[in-house]
Structure 1
Amino acid sequence: MKNKNFLFVIALLVSTIAFGQNELKVGYRAPNINITDYILNTPIDKDFSNKLILLEFWATWCGPCLEEVPNLNILQKKFEFKKDFVFISITDEKPDKVLRTLKRIPFNSIVVSDQTGKTFKNFIGDKDGSYSIPATILIDTKGIVKWIGTPHDLNDSILEKFINNKELSGSDYPNIDEQSGPIFIKSGEEKITDIAYKMIYDEASMYSFTLLNGKKNEFSMNVNTLREQGLYFDLNKNLISIISNLSNISESQIILPENLKEQNYSLFYKNKNFNTEKESKQDVKMNLIKSLHLTENVILKKTDVYVFKVQNKNKLEEIINETEVKNGFNGTHFLFSNLGMDDAIKSIGLYYKVIVKNKTNLNGKYDFILKNNSLEDMKKDLEIYGLSLEKLTEDIEFYKYE
């Protein structure tokens, strides 16, 4: 169904997703580990029965997962003397996609995939089909689950006890209650979800626009299904962010009255007679400006900009026949997966609060893993992909609202 993912997003607004609500528990027999593809560090002996197993669930788009890889590599090196102890990193993605990440992030573990999703479902899946990653499970030689947590919770002491079949104490287990997910909508705030559900299910409603005041320090989210369903939501976002997303320009190019800079809004738009996403976004913006009694003026200002260019196209690997787009970041890197240059550049501009222009003339989709601690370090990573980032001073359009 077209709206499956969208409905899942809306469901997040009215429910709590808790870590570890699947049926698997310490002391239970572990389900079978189903593997469809061996991708890296393939062992000669693929029979994992009667072996100690560290099973790590991860994905190429999961920032926290990749952030923990160096720690797992160190732990594996420390315990490599234990020949019947295997580290397995499992994803549910296609090998080609995984290999693109492995070119940049070294894994010492046995990297595998289960494209059926059975292993994810049986080990860490919740009843609604969702799951939390990264997740790590220790399984003993008899197939019994001895520990459930995340790579961040894992340490030498836990693994020493595990390989020596010693009992793990309460301090060795993560506090599951503290890892529960956020409640996005508090009781008494049903108005937002009422509007969202009405827009989805009310077939009589063909065109509508609603703008509500938002709140600071509350959960915010953008949902855009204009291409498939003509729906667009901005939940509890500041005005600069909303206009930036609708106009596809940097937040640095937007000038607002002082009294509106700190105001948050929740915006709901439905148009079943939409044409293109670009036209629909323009319609949303015009409704927004009208609702706030603003006028838009475009002015030119000379300012610093960062320009993306292609230096060596042969270094770029265009993604073909992949539909899933998943992106993330961690404390050190951006993780762009199957993303167009415009979208990647927009994310970088928002992160560094600078104006970034795309002069690559690239229309394809690509994977990028880029350092995010500074623009200078990111420039070095871009060279690996045959791209450059150049700082220039240009006349730039600024959008002023009064």
Structure 2
Amino acid sequence: MLTLLGVSMIICFMYLIMSKKLSALVALTLIPFIFSIIAWLLGFHFESLSHIELIKLGEMMLEGIKKVAPVGIMLLFAIMYFALMIDSGLFDPFVNWIVQCVKGDPVRIAIGTVILTMLISLDGDGSTTYMICVTAILPLYKRIGMNPLIMTALMILANGTMNIVPWGGPTARVASALNIDPRHIFVPMLPALVIACLWLIFIAYLYGKFEKKRLGIIHEINIKKNFNISISKHPDAHRPDLRKFNAALTFILMVCLIMGILPMPILFMLGFCLALAVNYPCLEKQKQRIAIHANTALSVVGVIFAAGVFTGILTGTGMVDAMSHEFTAIIPPVMGPYMAPITALISIPLTFFMSNDAFYYGVVPILSEAASNYGITPLEIARASLIGQPVHVLSPLVPSTYLLCGLASVEFNEHQKFTIWWAILTCLIFLITALLFGIFPLLKI
């Protein structure tokens, strides 16, 4: 009965957010609360309707929030930090250098598209990434007649691959769902990420060669004159004189993050506060920077804390244990030790047909609990669950993909057909590399 209740709760949650009847924040908070009351009335883990038992239900929710609090804090300050770096103009010289270097060569333009998108994707926001990159690159495609579908394909593949950074949506979701430090998920995946990025550059090279053969090189484009751009939407926030300081601070922050000198929430908190104080000594300027980006940051962090309520109730009521036992019972014993690569493979179609919220909060906890019966850790399942992200960003459930197609003036279905096989291949490259580097095991003995 508890299994049926848990499955019903997850199906209800998935339906409501995928049909857009409720936001993820509202669904993650209200749906588990309602189902926990149902479980309470049916007598699961509750002896009576006393006030003490109501407190116990609240404690489950609060315990879940406490576990995801570090992830929420990290996300808040990471998003604010990279937004501030973009505002200050840190990345402007590099962006302009890329745009100037590509000139009229289709090979350079295609490779530059990938590198630029990877760089801007560090802010963790797909919509912002596409707006900046399309603004910078689309005029080059139009000027020499390159197929804009190549641009949208390369951008979405690069963004989907970079989606696994610790402050990106998928990693933050799975970290909060399984109560894991995002750094422990991400750092071992760096070799696979590097190879996936090199693979995307190779794809760009192939497309560039094809277009170069078709179009040749347009030598007369004066890139320096016409494409000296800034990726910041706030010119008054530029701090070109502090660019060296910001670059050094960002480099030190990334090194400390990888080495684990301090917990990630503390690193980003310190980094953001130091950057804010140095770049904008005026208190009013500081308030302005925070207010401008608060909407984006808080909308993400709010979902993370709501996810704490969801996972707290899912665990506290015993639903996840009951569901995992049932799930384990239907898995052929010979397949159990392969749960990590199985999770990676099913993440490809599942993240396409459902939202990241539905997959990471509804499906992954069950897979993780079932895998634990075969000695596979939640950390290994968390890494495996990220493999499908290059395909996920092609899903019709991802709003930023519509933005990309709209900005580039391409049809959504044409973009999907043009990109889907490259996206699947990228996932498989990711999977094979992860297995070779031991990021998660092929077989747990």
TM bucket (normalised to shorter chain) is under 0.3
**Higher share in helix:** 2
Larger RCO, structure (CA 8 Å, separation 6 or more): 2
Q: TM-score, normalised to structure 1's length?
A: 0.24
Structure possessing the higher radius of gyration over alpha carbons: 1
Q: TM-score, normalised to structure 2's length?
A: 0.23
**Higher share in strand:** 1
